[in-house]
């Protein structure tokens, strides 16, 4: 992790970031199509990349050779119960496992959140993504809600 560099995303990171969108489809709820997940993820990431403001950020991790190895998209929101600001990790993906990019990106998102007065950081993980859930729990994230979905028709 020592040779990783985390920086704000730039427009020239778009192709790298969007190339990781299919990874979200791999662990999608089975009732959602791959196309639906990939298109929705790409749309949200493009908006975050090109609609730059202080309410969200995209960070990119690079290895010691300057090769991009992952990204995180974090967004400010209001807490449902208190109305206080909190940060939410909307998307996080790595291109190579085992280099510590995911942990470094989460730490960067947490620092960014603290700088904006966020008391906590939330994230979603699909029920099928057990590997990621284990990583998040080891980093101190706890289950808060379980979202249930019923298809109609």
In the chain (153 residues long), the average pLDDT of successive 10-residue segments reads 87 97 90 94 94 91 96 95 95 92 96 95 91 91 88 88
pTM as predicted: 0.91
**What is residue 2's predicted lDDT score, i.e. its pLDDT?**
60
Domains of the chain, start order: 5-138 (3.40.630.30)
**What is residue 29's predicted lDDT score, i.e. its pLDDT?**
87
Tokens 């190579």 belong to residue: 96
Q: Greatest CA separation found in the chain? A: 52
Q: What single-letter DSSP state applies at residue 11?
A: G
For the chain, helix, strand, coil in percent to 5 are 35, 25, 40
**What is residue 62's predicted lDDT score, i.e. its pLDDT?**
97
**What is residue 142's predicted lDDT score, i.e. its pLDDT?**
94
Could you give the 3-state DSSP secondary structure of residue 136? helix
Q: How far apart are CA 47 and CA 68, in angstroms?
A: 20
């Amino acid at each position: 992790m020592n040779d990783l560099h985390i920086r704000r995303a730039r427009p020239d990171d778009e192709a790298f970031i969007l190339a990781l969108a299919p990874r979200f489809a791999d662990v999608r709820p089975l009732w959602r199509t791959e196309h639906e997940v990939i298109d929705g993820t790409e749309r949200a990431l493009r908006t975050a990349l090109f609609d730059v403001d202080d309410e969200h950020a995209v960070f990119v991790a690079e290895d010691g050779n300057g090769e991009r190895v992952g990204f995180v998209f974090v967004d400010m929101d209001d807490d449902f119960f208190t109305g206080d600001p909190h940060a939410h990790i909307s998307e996080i993906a790595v291109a190579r496992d085992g280099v510590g990019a995911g942990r470094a990106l989460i730490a960067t998102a947490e620092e960014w959140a603290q700088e904006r007065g966020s008391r906590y950081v939330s994230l979603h993980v699909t029920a099928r993504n057990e590997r990621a859930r284990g990583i998040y729990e080891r980093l101190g994230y706890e289950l808060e809600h379980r979202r249930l979905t019923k298809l109609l028709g």
